[in-house]
Structure 1
Amino acid sequence: MKVRITSGARKHGLTRTRILTALENAELIDTVGDKQVFLGTDDQGVELHMILVPDDRDLDRMSCIHAIQYHYLIGGDR
């Protein structure tokens, strides 16, 4: 799958490389409309929560619009 990483996905301090690495082993955990929610582990062993939507610039690509370390979402260490 081709993925564009948006600036919004990087706003929590995650690099493009970390997000792409996590997407390589990510599991789809939810779909809401056209949003797909994934959990994957980056190259530092940190689990990332990522949201992808169809890219508005290229129909054959997805855009990662959100990425954050999962433990921040659940309120603790994981």
Structure 2
Amino acid sequence: MLKHDVLIEYILQCLHELTPESRRPIGPQSNLVEDLGLESIKILDLLMMLEDHFDLSIPINILIDVTTPVELANALVTYLENHHGAV
């Protein structure tokens, strides 16, 4: 069972690894592009880190309306619930 707070915590940990040069604080509401300067390749790296850590496959289309770590966690939980049952 994947808990939402555990997912957000891991996303934030990954973002710290992907943006070590960031001078801005990284939080659940940080904008991935505007605040953290993530380019598309780093966002894909983030998805791959999540896939590896949680041993699942994440379709790239869940990123359509995602701009923050909390939105990514919400989209991922929604996707998992819709395609794999309760999370």
- Would the TM-score normalized by the shorter structure come out above 0.5? no
Determine which structure has the larger helix proportion and give its number. 2
TM-score (norm 1): 0.30
**Highest CA radius of gyration, 1 or 2?**
2
Instruction: With a CA cutoff of 8 Å and minimum separation of 6, indicate the structure with the bigger relative contact order.
Output: 2
TM-score (norm 2): 0.28
